[in-house]
Amino acid sequence: MPVSTASNCLTRVMVDGDHDIEVAQLQSVMHRIQDALCHVPVTQREYIANALLNLAVARMLREDGAIHTAGILARLGSVVSEGRSAPPPEGAIDLTRLHG
């Protein structure tokens, strides 16, 4: 599957389970979102990242609850604050191994 890259983006989070299927599905969804975002008016593009983050956090809260969501976001915050570089689309950040 061809993969495009986006600079300065955390592209993926791996969790327990069948990683190959998860990553393939996630890559497919990421490509669909990127294709759809091409049609967002220029005046609204600066809001894309915040809108996607809000949608993701709201869904995580709904499906996983506040404690689990807070743990994931804390570990992700740790990655961002430490200035680690974003993974390439073929790679991933494994938040299960980070201490946050």
Q: Would 3 be classed as within a structural domain?
A: no
Per the listing, tokens 């200035």 go with 83
pLDDT at 66: 96
Residue 12 lies in a domain: no
pLDDT of residue 90: 56
Q: How many domains does the chain have?
A: 1
Region of residue 10 (phi > 0: left; psi between -120 and 50: alpha; otherwise: beta): beta
The tens-digit pLDDT sequence of the chain (100 residues) is 333 344 333 444 545 555 567 777 777 888 898 899 999 999 999 999 899 999 999 999 999 999 999 998 988 888 778 876 666 665 566 666 655 4
Name the residue range of residue 56's domain. 19-97
In DSSP notation, 28-92 reads HHHHHHHHHHTTS-GGGGGGHHHHHHHHHHHHHHHHH-HHHHHHHHHHHHHHHHTTPPPPPTT--
Q: Decide if 4 is inside a domain.
A: no
For residue 75, being part of any structural domain is answered with yes
Q: Does 5 fall in a domain?
A: no
